[in-house]
Every structure is written in C-alpha cells, then in structure tokens.
Structure 1
Amino acid sequence: MLNKYKNTVTERFLKYVQIDTQSDPYSDAQPSTEKQKNLSNVLVAELLEMGITDAHLDDSGYVYATIPSNSDKNVPVICFCSHVDTSPDCSGENVKPIIHSNYQGQDIVLPDDNSQIIKLTDHPDLAHQFGNDLITASGTTLLGADNKAGVAEIMDAAYYLINNPEVKHGTIKILFTPDEEIGRGTAAVDLQKLGADFGYTIDGETLGSLEDETFSADGVRISITGVSQHPGFAKGRMESALKIASEIVAKLPKETLSPETTEGKEGFIHPTNILGAVESATIDFIIRDFTVEKLHAHEAVLKAILDDVLNAYPNSKATFEVTEQYRNMKEILDKYPHVTEYAMEAITRSGIEAKCMSIRGGTDGSRLSFMGLPCPNIFAGEHAFHGKHEWVTIQDMEKAVETIVNLCMVWEEKS
C-alpha cells in the first residue's frame, strides 16, 4: 500500500468518463475530433494545480508534462502514456458511470437498457473480482475505461509523487495522446520535446498483466471498378462492383483466419468496411498476426481470393493496396529486457502476481517503440472495452496507481 494513501483515481475516473472524447476514423483533422481536447484541457488544469508547471496541450491534441527528478542519481527518463479518446465503435456521449459495490457474482442489469446484462459466465475475469467495487456504464454507451482508467491512474500517481517527495524517482514524463483508437495516436507526437528514454503505456486489461508483445498490423483496401449498365438492358454486359465485393467477402475463410474463430497467437483477415455501387466499390480489411511473414501470407490468401473472383468478371478490374499500420513491439523490447523486468518487479511489489502476456491488438506503445521509445503496456484494469458491457474495478485501478509509483522507485533504485 502507498503509506495509507487516499487514492483520487476513482473520483478522477468518474469525472473523465463523462466527457465525450470519441475519435473519428473518417476525419482528416488533427486530432480527429475537437472534443477530445475538452478532456485534455481538464488534465492540463489539474496537472498545473498539482504544481507540475510545464503541463500543456499542443495544437495537435497532445498533453505533455514533467515531474522533475528528486534523486541525486542519473536516472533514465521514463514516460507514462495513455490515450484520451474512446472507440468509435460505441457511443461515448452522455456516459453515466455506476458503481456496483461489493460485487458477489450476480448478474448486473444495466438500468438504461435492461437487455444489457453483464454476466459472470460471459466475463471470466469477474471471478477474480468478488468483494470489489465494479464501475459500469448505464447500458446505452461504452464506459470509457479504455483508456480513461489509464489516464486517471497516471494522474493519481502523479498526484502521489508530487505530494510525497520522500519517494525518490528520476524525471518522469507524462504523455496523453488523442486518436489511439483509430490508429493515429502517435501521428503528431514530438518525441524530442517529450525527452524520454523509455516509456510505458497504461492501457492493459487484467490485473497484474504486462504486455511486451502486440500484433503486427496491416490494412488492405481493395478498390473494384465494375461495368455499369441500365438494369433493363444489362444482360451479358453489367458487372456489378458491389456484387464482386460481396463475393470476395463471402469467400473469406470461415473456420480460420477470422476474429470470431481465432485466439492466442492466431492471426486473421477481417473486413471492416464495404462501400459501393454497381460501377465501383471498396472493401477495407485489417490483417493481424504476430510476425510480418504471417501478415504477408494472409495478404496472399486475400489476393488469391480477389483474383479468383475477378476471373468471372473479365471486364472489371481491381487494385490491392497494402498499408503498414504497426509492428510487434517485442522486436524492439527484446533489445532492452530491463524495461520489462523493472515493470514486472513493480507489479510484484504491489502484491500482485505479475504476468507477461501478448496482446491481440496494438497500443500507442507499438508505434512508440519503433519510433525510438521502447514502450511495453501495463494493466489499467479495463475489461470488455469498445462496448456497453465495459467495466473496471476501483481496486484494480488503485493497484495500477501503486504499480506506477513502484516502477518509478525501481528505476531510481537500480540506477
């Protein structure tokens, strides 16, 4: 425990989730939505009130702040990072957080939509939460624990460090990013201004987990040009781009290579959007696996499906565009094993079983690692994210705060 510290993480979290910060994948703005800055401005004001004098929000939507070193040692500069945006997959407007005290395994019926029921059988991690205090939304929105739990935990840890100067630490950098949920969380980050040597995103799930490995990720866009004709005179002439697109999706593997049929280290091909008409259509895919070689193999499967379908449409054509999205951060983190080891020790010091895991997804840390800031991902306690059943517990958030503080101490002790 942190010297009988009265945590502020819950109060902060309940406040933050009520600020709509949903990002928009169809916006070209930076950040993609101005409303993300509403939370970022609140965070800057709170950091300044703590006494962190350089806290500021830049024009691109990033919050930067520094907790100065209080150690005589030459301690590497470490950064803690979380993102302020919530997923575009589910509404984040008018979030009504609810605390369910002393959870005992019961079904939780969300009051604004009684069809939304959080059940122990659907959420296995709830088996470890008996006696804890769950926070959910009310049934019509996501909660926003992804990643406002992480934001609140970093803020509470900063508050603790500022108010407990006897806790020795090196220079600590704080970074809050926009647009992580749409893959643009590091698009305009200024790492030179940040000035950190190593980093940690606080954006993980299960209590005690540390993720040092992510998916590698590509996007694929297939753009189809068909042959449009008046439907009354189309026999033997029309080649509908929309039907071609539909056939491609229909031919995707059904027992393998899909999100709904894979787990663990298995990758997938996933269509995320289809748009079109008779003359032209596009299909967007995300391709995921843990190695680039497997990504390329999955892309070859998709390209073969496209070519096979087009064989039946001799007057139509298509382009196949692959875009790199992010890469498995383990490629970088394996070169700096102490970054992961120190985090594991910090988790253990917090009285938790530390678990090093792989994540079937990506974080800002994936990109940051390849940009020169090695950055594994520490648990924030968020669960069932991107949907109306999202939940977190007060106790898990408090343990994340303790882990952050312990990690600052570990770096100082070992320098």
Structure 2
Amino acid sequence: MTAPRDRVLDVHDRPPPATFFLLSLQHLFAMFGANVLVPILTGLDPSVALVTSGLGTLIYLAFTKWRLPAYLGSSFAFIGPIVAATQIGGTGGALVGACAAGAVYVAVALLIRAFGVRWLLAILPPIVVGPVIVVIGLGLASVAVGMAQNTAGGGEYSLPHFLLALATLGSIFLYSIVLRGFFTVVPILLGILTGYALGVVFGMVDFGPVAAAPFLRMPDFHLLFSGMKEGVSAWAMILLVAPVALVTIAEHIGGQIVLSRVVGRNFIADPGLHRSVFGDGVATMVAGALGGPPATTYGENIGVLAVTRVFSVWVIGGAATLAIILGFVGKLSAFLSSIPTAVMGGVSIALFGVIASSGIRTLIEGKVDLGDKRNLLISSTILVIGIGGASLKFGDGGFVVSSMALSALMGVVLNAVLPGRGTGGDAEAILSSDHI
C-alpha cells in the first residue's frame, strides 16, 4: 500500500526530544475527557481509569509487537451493563463481568489465530461494519454536544459554554490550516490551551480543587471480587456484562479499519487482528482486576493521528506513561480536571466526525450497493438504532443492551437472515492492502 505522502512521523519513528513530550501530551489531552467521563458515570475512580488506560495501552502495544499506534481508553459501550451490574452485585460484581468481557476478547482472538479472520468478516461484512463505524463516530455526538453546551449529566443549557466550545473548535481548524512547521502537528493541544485560556478570562475555570489537591495521591484501586454483594452469583455478573464484548469486537474491527486507512498500513494483516483483539482483551482484564472500566481503542486518538499525521508508537507509549503518572499526581490530575467541559466538547466535535467519515469510506471501498433494498434496510436500521439511542432493558435494573451494541447486533442478525448475503459488499476488500 502507498503510504500517505504527508505523514510527519511513521509508526516506528522516534520524535525529537524537544517535541516528544508535547506530542504525547496532545494524545493525553484528547483522550482525557472521555476516559474520565466513563468512570464518573459508572461510579469508578477516574484516577484508576487513567492508570489502567495507560497500563492497558502499553500491554496492547506489546501484544501488537509495537507496530500499531492505538491508545486504549474507557469504553462507552459498557456503561449501561456496568451500571446495571453495580446495582445488582456491587462494584465487585461489575468488575467480575468486565474481566469476563476481556476473556471473551481473548477467546475470539484465539479463534482468529486458529481459523483466520474470514469467518469473522463473513459475519461482519462492509454493509455491517461501515454503518457501525458511523455509529461509533456519531453515536456519541450527543455526548460531545452535551459537553459543549453544559447539558451533559443533566446540566442546564449554557450559551457561554457553547460559545467557548465553538471558539475551541474554530481555533483547532485555524491552527490546522494556517500554522506551519512543528505547530502543524499539535493543533489539538493548541486548541485546548486556547480554550482553557479563554475559560480563565471569562471566569469558567475553578482553581480551588487544584489548590486543595495533594501533590501525590493513591488511586482507589478496587481489586477483583472485593465489594461484591453477598448472595450474588459471579456467573450472573458474567452473563450480564460479558456478552457486550461480542458486539464491541465489531467496534474494535471498525477501529482497526479506520486506523489502517489513516496510517496507510494494513494492520488487520500485520501485526494481525488476532494480536490486536488479544491485546485489547488482556488490557480489559487487567483494568477490571484493578477497578477500571473495560478498554477500547479510542476514536479521539485516531482522530489526532488523522489530523497531525504523526503515527509514532513512541508518542502513543509516551501518552500511556503520562496517563499512569497522572493517576498518582493529585495536583496534575486536578489541573487537567479543571479544563472546562465545553473545551473538551469542542475537541470531541472536531474528532468524532473523522471516524464517521471513515465508515462512509468503508461502504464505498467495500463496493456496497445502497441501491439494493437489502443493503439499504440493514444500513438504515444500524444507523437509526445506534445514533437514535435505542436500547434493550430486561427487568428492573437487569440486563441492558446499549444502543451501540444493539445496532451492531441488529446488523449481524439482519445480514444473516435476509436473502442475498452476497450483496453485502466485498469483505475481502477489508483484508486487501489495496483497499485499506
């Protein structure tokens, strides 16, 4: 495959010492908002999530032989199941389910290693994967807009917050297009700093928590099985959370396809999908064992790669190391937490669309005929359910299938039962370096 001509650093290129820290810090900023939002919504410790995301990323890089520049952060797809599991079995029960979800990844990776990937791609052809990628990008659009408008978490609409988000977004566009030299590779970081400065000027930054925070603090690690309610079966927790992994694997494949397109390498072939799925699974198991949420490759960081054209695994590893350190530094963690939510909303708006556009590209390059009624019905169902926020809930506080998971499940089922499976696109195109 022809590599992108405008790449700044290739996968194994080590950045100069003067820029190494800034490039890694940019990735840390990009993932920070979403990574800590998941534990906040699920009742876990954000500092633990930072540590486990960094540790999980290093594990992932090791299992993928340091050939795949992807950052692993907290997975939004598991929010519903973890909340439900916590209500039924306590935090310990939710973590047992999270570890089991990682074990599902490992099992699927071993099957891919033994039988290849084509059986999986037959289940997940372009007509399923393409719309799922769009859902990955746009399914959380409401979260990004909610952060931008101060409505995330039930807050009231705030015009100043939204204007700050738009200013942050506009500065990222400006820096990406106008700046030259080194500054062309850190537009996201510069945008965040610009938004933060504006937030300080307009009194939207609270330095009180920063002043009160200790310099060092121990994250609230929650070891496996501790805090699990008495009388609750571990198998019940596993059945509640683990099945979601079968769906998030589709998200994982979509992320690998996007990353392959952005970087210009066929990562599904080399280092291999089995390695990336295995690494993701082990990272999720480690996160669950320490009290963190399940891990997933982060669209925000893929977006940073797409914008900056810096593909170095050294930079990703640096960001992971910074995240681990940050989890123990109370002052620094409090400082990053002081970044206005609106600023991170503006950044998220800038990055999520990159993923959705890659889903459309998958449909095009997979030669999916949307004039075919079958394909039109499958894609429209996935998009409406995923972006519309539909979900399945069984019982009062029981099993919950999130909208992202449900949309992927519907796509798989419809592709399997509707006549004319051969019209769902060229799955081999996903494996071909000429199409990725």
Query: Per the shorter chain, which TM-score range?
Result: under 0.3
Q: Which structure has the bigger radius of gyration?
A: 1
Q: Looking at secondary structure, tell me which structure has more helix per residue.
A: 2
The structure richer in strand per residue is: 1
TM superposition score normalised by structure 1: 0.22
Higher RCO (CA 8 Å, separation ≥ 6 residues) = 2
